[in-house]
Structure 1
Amino acid sequence: MDYPKSDATVGLVGGKFSDGNPGAGVPASRDPASWANLVTDELINVLIAAGIEPDEAADNQLLQALQALGLRASTTALAGVSKLATASEAQGLSEATKALTAATLNSAFQGSNQSLVAAGGYQIFPGGVILQWGGASFSSTGAANLFPIAFPNAAFVPLTGNSGTSGLSIMLSYTALSNTGFTAKSSSGSGTYYYLALGH
């Protein structure tokens, strides 16, 4: 769809319609029926594509058609056009108006939500669940250990396993569990071990 540039008798000025200048003898542009029909048909085609019956008296049907065809913000009930979230917005795990691509979904688990350090790291998942791990120490009297990051709300349970102490067969338990760490006790002796901790 364009201005009727191919018809020199229309009298476009600068490629657009003009009111002319009667004082200078310049006539106003002519609105040819063929062009008016073309524009009207173009708009009606949008209504038809959206399943809307054209109504001569209505002045909002084009907007309704565009919305029906998806030119609107997406919601959980209606399809539409959505802005894409950035990696940092995805990592915030709270953006509710923007869409995620596969790449930004992957990014959502990274950044400040992830620390892949073998000696002590963590992974924050959507919904608030946090998995942490690390190497720590234990003793028969109890050794205090800190999580890589504090759980914002609560720690559920640290799962412990003996590691790095050759030939040692002992029972491990934990006490004083808090959002920031726990105390590990052994049935005898002392040493190091790895743990997994869940919380939120």
Structure 2
Amino acid sequence: MDYPKSVPNIGLVDGKFVDENPTTGQIGSLITSAWSVAITDEVLGVIRDAGLVPEESDNGQLKAAIRAISEQATYTREQIETMIASASSDIQKLKTMAVVGGYRRLSIVTTGLDGNISVTAEQVTVGGAEYVKTLNNIGFTINSLSVGANGLDSGAMAASTWYGVWVIWNSATAAIAGLLSLSGAAPLLPAGFTHKALVGWVFTDATANKFPLSQIKKDKRVVWKTAPGSNVATPRRMANGAAGNPSAGTWVPVSTTAYVSPTAISIKVELVNYTASAAGVAPNAGYGPVQEYLNPPPICSFFVGGSGGAPGKTTGDLLLESANIYWASVNENLFCLGYEDSV
């Protein structure tokens, strides 16, 4: 039994599995069904040889099987130690198949009124140097104005900056905490904490407070939450006024870097058209005019009625192809309502 080195494009690094890392572009290793079945069959073979009936919910059968076999036959101490080491290695390989950063029913909420970040989840898988750990029913509040566990990993908060939200775990004390970091790959862990998982991001406002902007993250979906008195009192406007030419298909880039996280995969925008004309938005500049029927932009907005008429509003999602989206407008507004993340 060994790592599946003979499988083409398996994606091993230094002969071992690695996790996917969207920030660095590292592609995760391929876990083939044949290799997974081979490991499972090898463990089941030991259990059956001991005369036991495999039970999916019983995680102590392998240990019991080895003890039973050792009592039925005569083995040297070295042979028994080798058997236990081999079985432990196989079990560890199965454990590491869990995706670090995987979660269930994750929620990250900020109010935009202070430096607090509320994090809850039914389940989160964190990773360390040698193994992964699945944490259940977690809940904590990160104070972005403090440093250490449930705070910032080092330094002080900066304005208009993205910070990764991490779940961290202390393997010695089983303590669970949160951590903010400028890094999306290698935060500075507080003493004693050995495992971590990136589960989201927050973006700070431009004021001297440097509070995280008001947001709600449910699993991978993030919404900028408008609330009176908060730092998102109105929808976040990306651009307004004249830009390019919607009738000619002349597109102008709009940066998304302050509106979606570094690991975002799509953006939710809204066009509000309040003049007697049209506007459009697209993921790239390769689209035609808004009136085009063969190559129109995916999101368009048209003014309804004459003077005093209702503004035209259109909402949609764009898959991010670069750090920009593109729009054309006579005198309209382009808002970012939120985004979908890959973490």
> TM-score band, normalised by the shorter chain?
0.3 to 0.5
Q: Which has the higher helix share?
A: 1
Could you state the TM-score of these two structures normalised by the residue count of structure 1?
0.40
Q: Which has the higher strand share?
A: 2
Could you state the TM-score of these two structures normalised by the residue count of structure 2?
0.27
Larger Rg: 1
